[in-house]
Amino acid sequence: MSVDGELWDVSHRGDGQYDLSWTRENSPNYGFSMNLGGREAEMTPQILEDVIREFMDNINPETGYLD
């Protein structure tokens, strides 16, 4: 998935668990996981994009990581 020019690997385990890995050159596989509480409902691409964008907005531009 591409969000604002950044590539992300998104996997859905089917038990409400999502793993999102940012495929950046300088820190591969940096990302986060989230759980929808075991619900079977899937997140829409737009919701995933919004969640990823919120994560990227919290990245310190000097370090490239969360503070």
The Cα-based distances of 26 to 8, 36, 39, 42, 44 in angstroms read: 14, 30, 34, 30, 29
> Is residue 25 included in any domain, yes or no?
yes
Give me the residue label for tokens 């409400």: 16
Asked if 39 and 16 touch (Cβ cutoff 8 Å), the reply is yes
The pLDDT value recorded for residue 13 is: 83
> Is residue 30 included in any domain, yes or no?
yes
Total domains, the chain: 1
The pLDDT value recorded for residue 32 is: 94
> Is residue 45 included in any domain, yes or no?
yes
Closest CA to 48 of 19, 15, 13: 19
The pLDDT value recorded for residue 43 is: 86
> Is residue 33 included in any domain, yes or no?
yes
**pLDDT digit string (tens) for the chain, length 67 residues:** 999 999 999 998 878 889 999 998 777 678 999 988 766 667 889 999 999 999 999 999 898 889 8
The pTM (predicted TM-score) of the whole model is 0.83
Find the domain containing 52 and state its range.
Answer: 2-57
> Is residue 44 included in any domain, yes or no?
yes
